[in-house]
Structure 1
Amino acid sequence: MTDQVIKLNTESFEELYQKEGKLVVRLWAEWCGPCKMMSPIYNQVADNIADEKLIMGEVDIDAFPAIATKLGVRGIPTVVIFENGKEVNRSVGLMPAPELQKLILKE
């Protein structure tokens, strides 16, 4: 487990996604096999690229279903990328670290 990935709840999600900069959110659930496989990949990418201008967080959709509903999540794992409060990219499903990093850093 990395300390670069912030566990988000409804309040912290609302606060962070409206901030200036980039927020990457992984939506997952404990019972989801692909989500478990994606977890170390997401953490590895966070260790490589997360900083004060690029925040990486995660949301357990069973604990905070309102976030998943608000974002229109239909399948997990889902990674949603926000920049300055607006969604700029999204990916559903398992992906390798280089592909995930490229998706996040896309300008």
Structure 2
Amino acid sequence: MTVHNIASKAAFDEAVKTHSVVIVDAFATWCGPCKAIAPIIAKMSEEEQFKDIFFAKIDVDDLPELSQELGISAMPTIIAFKGGELGDKVVGANPKAILELVNKQL
């Protein structure tokens, strides 16, 4: 797998509707902690145990309406969707908490 870059609200809606579990990394290009956490999420997306999870990222500056809809107030924010429903989230670059969030979706 890979981390898919979501460039529109329609693409986001389609991803959440199509995949049973979606992990969204809400980031900003200027955000240092976002840059630090991105390779960790990319590595997770390639792990066999997470093969059924769709990993995606959205740039909060490119999709401000979606960011507001998702309640993103700080970056990075990692959000889990299961069965199309908004689930738990982790705010901040906390690898342990992000791993726990992803494992909880299995």
For the superposition of Structure 1 and Structure 2, which TM-score range results when normalised by the shorter chain?
0.7 to 0.9
Query: Aligned runs of 1:25-36 on 2, under 5 Å?
Result: 25-36=24-35
Return the letter of the residue paired with 1:17.
V
CA contact (8 A) 2:27 2:75 kept: yes
CA distance in 2 between partners of 1:15 and 1:54 (Å): 15
Query: Aligned runs of 1:9-28 on 2, under 5 Å?
Result: 9=7, 10-28=9-27
Unaligned runs of 5+ in 2: none
% identical aligned pairs? 26
Matched, 1:92 2:91: yes
> What corresponds to 2:61 in structure 1?
62
Superimposed CA distance per residue, residues 18-61 of structure 1 (whole angstroms, 9 cap, x where no aligned partner): 2351000000001111111111111111111443x310000011
Shift of 1:69: 0.8
CA contact (8 A) 2:19 2:54 kept: no
Partner-residue secondary structure (3-state), 1:17? helix
Unaligned runs of 5+ in 1: none
Matched, 1:103 2:101: yes
TM-score scaled to structure 1, two decimals?
Answer: 0.86
Aligned CA distance change for structure 1 residues 103 and 71 (closer, same or farther; 3 Å): same
Matched length: 103
Return the letter of the residue paired with 2:103.
L
TM-score scaled to structure 2, two decimals?
Answer: 0.87
CA distance in 1 between partners of 2:20 and 2:46 (Å): 18
Question: What RMSD, in angstroms, separates the aligned Cα atoms of the two structures?
Answer: 1.6
Return the letter of the residue paired with 2:102.
I
CA contact (8 A) 1:80 1:89 kept: yes
Return the letter of the residue paired with 1:100.
I
Partner-residue secondary structure (3-state), 1:6? strand
